[in-house]
Structure 1
Amino acid sequence: LMIQLKKQDVETLRDDRLEQVIQASNNVLSEIDESKLALYYGGTFHDKEDPESVKERKEMDEMKGQLAEALGRKARALADMENTTNTTTITDSGEEKDEDKSTTTNLSKATDIDTFDDIVKHMRNWVDIDANLKFSVLTLERERRANHPGHVLKLLNKLLEKNGEDTKGGICHITKSAIYKRRTTVLEELNYDHLVERDRVLRVISSPKKYSLF
């Protein structure tokens, strides 16, 4: 089921598959007993010397990881559906894409069940998305919705320290070029005009092939 979810959520095709991503996420979530996980992590003693205990811990950690990933991918898909005309989203190709209303088909049906904000709140039970940079795309969206450009800028600067490598292996790899482009947008919102041109130059330098004349 997790393989199917990742297949539906592949970056180059996901714009036309948002509902399928949500359904695939639900398929994974329906197989995970959150009550069992909560009981285990809430009171089970983990004996590192006992093979059975180690095996059980490994299985529970894997299940918790799948739960967090399925919730994260569903949250991102719902956010893209909720964001209507001219909303910008980050893709792993390093580009920002303008979404149109064609991606919001059956929006009311999806949001009647879950919303981006509700899922992100629920994820706090299982993962700290602020500390785990593999979920940075969700943190950026949450702070954007809360109208906290300063927080967005702070996270983008942190991601630039390793050129976005910290997001690899997560629900969305944010490339160096994409980070620069998003940061330029935030700087414009903050009226930091003297820094905007610098970021545009840095973005060209970071992806010279995209701007080559030949």
Structure 2
Amino acid sequence: MSDGRGIRSGVPGEWAPTAFLAGGLGIGAAVLLVAVQGLANVTAPGWVTVVPGLGGLLAALLGLLSYYPRVAGPAPRLGSAGAAFALVGMVLFVVAVFRVVVSTLTTGATLAERPDGVTLLLVGTLVGLALGFLCYGAASTRTRTPSRAVGHLLLVPAAGILGNVLYVTLSGALGVGVVSGVPTVSFLVAAVGTVALGYRLRSEVSSADQSERADTTA
């Protein structure tokens, strides 16, 4: 049964709300921990920020892949593009984590010490994640699947991540320093948007479940 907005309990993609919530919380925790360390002028073990950050990225990517069935029918091209970007991001993420693990086991490097190429792989992961959000956001906004509000929320993390990547890239190209607060704010926007997205999706799924139960008992 459907509630008229395209959400139905039991359909593929029902794990997306939980994945987005976990992703936003993980990314947000990592960003805040880095900011607190900078403000307090202290240094915590690398895993303190790396683990929640990588966990958040993984959860957000899984959320995008889980969300695909919801837009595959109403917006096949944008849906397929979003899934492709998310899949590319996932592949780059797995390769990056693999290289970090191998480096840690073979050289004794800490989690915070990135092997050559890992930073570029993680940037590619972020771009794939952001473009996936962007495509799904456009698809959901245009087709109202499951609602325009969800579509708008999908665009928030895309704007936060892509805005930060563009800012850092332009700063490097122009030879000017990166203001540390800008990446922090950008990623916090992405994290808060992802949490809000997960909460909104969970609320709409809950409403759909209640409508389905009401229809069943009627």
**Which of the two has greater helix per residue?**
2
TM-score normalised by length of structure 1: 0.29
TM-score normalised by length of structure 2: 0.28
Greater RCO, 1 or 2 (C-alpha within 8 Å, sep 6+): 2
